[in-house]
Chains A and B, each alone.
Chain A
């Protein structure tokens, strides 16, 4: 299984010019993004690693990669205004190798989720290779929901993985139609509804750093893990 990993780090922090994009914040001694990147590639020794950044962060990205992820050959790609645009830029960067069959599966991960383990990356890649698509999901506790619901509600996480050729085709068609999906699976479901998109067991600690409290929680989780992964 030949894999490419795309880590998205172009999005947040753009509205306030002088603020640090949260993915570049330190988390127990290393930047959030370098933890996301390291965990993403750990299970795939020869994978392509693409980091999608805001062009304004290029110098910082080079500095952080050199210092904290020097063992990983990271390819930097400039992202767009939306998550969808950033994914499209990264896929266009990989297009020739996908078309030549050198990549079977593409994994897309949100750089603000530094606690997704390497096992989860491996699980989604393997499932996508077998079935076409995979995404981690966790069932929402019914007590968290105000309305009475009979249906089970799932919370979807990243990394999400898909067969490379179909994913590239979906994004090319979306670009032609001006369709902007909320996440990768939304775009795949629109253009390849017949491809199985299998939910694998998500991880409770795979939080997306959004609220200040998430940073405190993430520090505790890293402490529990002995500062590994």
Chain B
């Protein structure tokens, strides 16, 4: 989930009604939301988001062994086969997240 874009229905304060919004995520954090009707954008302050990203990354790294272990117990075969590819992709994924934060 280096840069994920989702669409969801949220209440736009500008349109004063439920509208479709485009949500952009970097890693686990929301970077911005944009109302598809009036284009009003909501986002974290850039500096604030970067600090939050560092804290979140720390939490992701610390909790990764536990999450991986639980996933392994749930479906050992798929984790076994997907692990090497995911491990190799990790640096690129984080690099893409960082790029998204400095856009």
Contacts and interface: CB of A to CB of B under 8 A. Distances in A.
A13 B9 CA distance: 5
Given A19-B20, A219-B29, A227-B59, A25 B70 contact: no
Contact of A211 (B13, B25, B55, B59): B13
A12 B19 CA distance: 11
B8 interface: yes
A20 B33 contact: no
Contact of A28 (B56, B70, B74): B56
The A interface is mostly helix, strand or loop, or mixed, namely: loop
Contacts of B12: 211-212
B52 A219 contact: yes
B42 A22 contact: no
B60 A212 contact: no
Interface residues of B, number: 32
Contact of B70 (A70, A212, A215, A219): A70
Contacts of A62: none
B12 to A, nearest CB: 8
Nearest to B55: A223
A215 B7 contact: no
Contacts of B18: 12, 15
Nearest to B25: A26
Contact of A19 (B9, B43, B60): B9
Interface in A180-229: 209-213, 215-216, 219-220, 223, 226-227
A19 B7 contact: yes
Contacts of B74: 66, 70
